[in-house]
Structure 1
Amino acid sequence: MEMNRRFQGWIILLIFLLATYSPPVSAEGQIEPVLLIRLTLKPQVTLRGLGPITLFYRSEKDLAEKPHFSSASWQKVEDAAIYHQLSWQVTMVDGQLILHSEQGDLITGDLPILLHNSGSGFELNGADYPGNLILWPDADEGLIILNEVGLEDYVCGVLGSEAYASWPLEALKANAVAIRSYTIHSLGKHDAFDLCAENHCQVYRGLPQAAVFRAAVTATAGEVLTWRGTPINAVYHSSSGGRTRNNEDVWSGLPLPYLRSVEDFDHDGRNYQWPNAYLCSVEELAHGLILPGEQALQVTPIPSVNGERVGFWFGGTSGGRGLKNEELRRLLGLPSANFRVFCYPEQTEITQPIVLPPGASLLFVGTGSGHGVGLSQWGAAALAARGYTYQQILRHYYGTEVDWENYATAVR
C-alpha cells in the first residue's frame, strides 16, 4: 500500500494506536453478530472520523468472501493513522483509491483499506455510521464501501431509515423486532457482504438523530421471531391497502405459516391511497414483456386457490408470459401489488380474458405501498395507537404460533 503525505503550512497530527478488536457485546452480555453492509453513496464521498482512526490494508484485491476485521488477512499500516477531525474526500481514479484531506494530506493505493476506530464511528456525506469502514477499489464496480457494524446499531439505522419518529413507541418496537428477525434470517444473502443498503435488502442510511429509534431497539434488544426454532423471514412493507397478502400469492415458493393474509388497519396511513392512476399502452407493455411485433395483446387474470386475482397472463401470436402482481409492480414501477386493472379508454375492469387491440391501454388503480406481505408499518402504527403492545402487533401480522428468542440462541 503506497502512502504519500503532502503537508501545507503545518504538520498534520498522526495518531499511533495499537489496534485491538473485540466483537460488540449486548447489554445481556451476549456477543452480537457483526454484519458487513454494502453502502450506496455518491461517487465522491466525504468522510470524517468521529474518533481516532487506524488504517489497515489487505493484499487480496478480489472481494470474494466477507472481509471481516477479525480475519487474519488485514495488516496494520504501521507508520500512521488518520487524524480524526479532518474531512477527507474519497474517490477512485484509474483503479487507484484516493483519500485527500482538507489540509492536503494524500493517501493513495490500489489495495483495499480498513478504517478502524474504538467505537466512535464515522461521518459519511453528513450521516453518522457506527463501526468500521472498508474501502475496496474494484476494477469492475469502482469504489465499494462496506460498513462493518454490530447488529443492534444496524437495526437502529434501518429503523430510522424505514420508519417515522412520530409513530407510537410500540409500533417502532414491533418494527425493530421485525427488522432484527429479517436481518438474522437474511445473513449471507450476498457472497462478499451480508446485506445491501437499499430496498433489495433493507434501507440503511446510518444512525438516526431521533432518540426514539434507539429507545425502541434497546427495549427489544436481541429479540427475534422464530418458527420451530429458526428465525423467520419477517418481511414488512409500508401499507398493504386494507389486507396483507399470502407470501405464495406474491412470490414463488411454498406457503409460509407466518406469512398469511390478515386484515390490515392502514386506512389512515400516508401511503394508503395511490397518488395517481397509472396508464400503460399495449405496445409499452408488450415491449416490457419482451413480446415484440404484437398487433394485439391477450390479457387473462390469474386467480389464486381461493379465487383472488394474483396476477395476469399476457400473450399474443408469438407466445406469452404470466406475471404475478408483484412482478408487474416492479416492471411498471407501481406503488404496490394491490391494484385493479381497467381497459382504457373504456374504463371497464378486466376480470375475464380479453384481447386488447393496438392503441389500447391498461389503467392501473390501487391502494397501499410495497409488496403487501408480513408486517404493515402503517397498520402497526394504527394498532399501537389503539393500545396494542408490540407483541400483540407482531402476533397479528405473523400469527400466534411464532416464538420469541434471543439471537444468541436463534443463530446456530
Structure 2
Amino acid sequence: MTDRLPGTSRWPPSRAADRPATSAIPGEFAVSPDLTAGLVAKPRDAAEAGPLRGTDRPLADLFDVALMDLDGVVNRGGSAVPHAPEAIAAAGRRGLRTVYVTNNALRPPAEVADRLTGFGVPARAEDVVTSAQAAAHVLAERLPAGARVLLLGGRGLRQALIEEGLTPVDSAEDAPVAVVQGFDPDLTYARLAEATYAIRAGAWWVASNADRTVPTERGIAPGNGAVAAFLRAATDQKPLVTGKPEAAMHRESMRRSGARTPMIVGDRLDTDIEAGTRSSTPTLLVFTGVTTPSELLAAPPEHRPTFLAADLRGLLRPAPPVRARPDAGKHAAACGGWVARVDDGELSWSANDGGDGINAGNDTKGGNANGGDGEGGAGDGLDALRAACAAVWSAIDVGVAVHAIAADRPAGCADLVVPTVAP
C-alpha cells in the first residue's frame, strides 16, 4: 500500500531500501531527498563557497566543470546572450569544461545541443543535463519498470521517461500511477484537466522544476512553476520538485558530468544560487537573465553567490576580493575603488583609500581600476555593487534595516532600490 505525505501527492516507496524518505516543507512544493552527500569536491585553489569571495586567478582556472544554466545565461529565447559563445570557448581553452544544466524540460539533450551549436556554442548531447532527466530518474527509482506515467510536458520529458523504462500516457483514463509535469509552451486546458483528474485520483505528482517565469526574447513569460501553481489550486496537492535547486537535479548533474571540482553558473537566485548553497558548491551569478542588482542586494543568505559578473566573461577574470572595513563603520565593506557602508539605515559609498590593504586605484565606474578583467581594462563595473551587497548583508543579517540609499552613487548602482527583506 502506498503512503501519502500530508499535503503532497503520493510518494511510492523507493526500490532502494536505504534511500532516505522525503519530507514536506512549508510552502508551495515538496522537496526531493538529499542525495548529494559526498558528491561535491573542493575547487582547485579556490575560496570556499561563501558569498562574494575573491580569487587570485581567473575562475576558469580554478574549476574542472561549469554546471551552467541556459535560459538567461547562454541564450535568451532563440538567440545567444552577447559574449556568451566567445567566453565559453575561451574558458574551454583554459581547461574548463561546460555542462549545460537546465530546468527547461521541453527539449531532449541532443536537440538542446543542436540549438547551442546553432548559437555558436558547440555542444554534444552528453554536455546537456535537463530537469526532465532528473524527474524521470527519480520516477524510475520508485516505480516498477514499465509503469504508466501521465505526461504533462514536451518531447524532452517523453524521451526521458522512455529512456528510464517508463510508459508515458496522455489520459487519466489510462490509470497512470504518476503525473510528471514539465515546461511546455503548447500546453492546453484539456491536458491540464487530464493531469488534474489523475492527481485527484491519487497519482503521484512530480514536477521537473518550479521556476515561476522564463526569460524570452519578448520579455518574461510564465514558467513551469506557474503551471504547478494552477494544478495545486485545482488538486489541493503539492508536487515533488526535482529540478534546481533540489538535490535530485544536482545529483543528476554530478552523475552525468563526472565533475570533481564544479562551479554552478546561473542567473537565478532561487534556483542556481540556492542549488550551490544547498550542495556547498561555489556559484557565479551573471546579470544577463532575470536577477537584478536590487534583488541581489536584498538576497537572504541562501541566495548569495560566491562570485558575481556582468556576463560570462567573468569566467576569464579573477574575482575581486570584498573585505570588511570596520574602520569605516560597523557595516562597511570595500571592493576595488569603493567603500560601501550602512549608517543610520542609509547605504552610501566613498572612494577606497586602501585601508583594506588593497591597491584600490581610482575607478569611477564602480569597477576594478587595476584591470580586474584580466585584460588591462576597467573591470566589470560591479565592484561598487559587490561592496554594497556585503555592507547591506552585514546589516540585515543582524536585524538592521536599510531604508534609504544615498543619491550620490556609483554609475553601476544608479538603479538600486531600497532592499525589501522578508520578515
Q: Same fold (TM over 0.5)?
A: no
| Larger strand share, 1 or 2 | 1
TM range (shorter): under 0.3
TM-score by length of 1: 0.25
Quick check: which has more Rg, 1 or 2?
1
Greater helix proportion: 2
Normalising to structure 2: TM-score of the pair?
A: 0.25
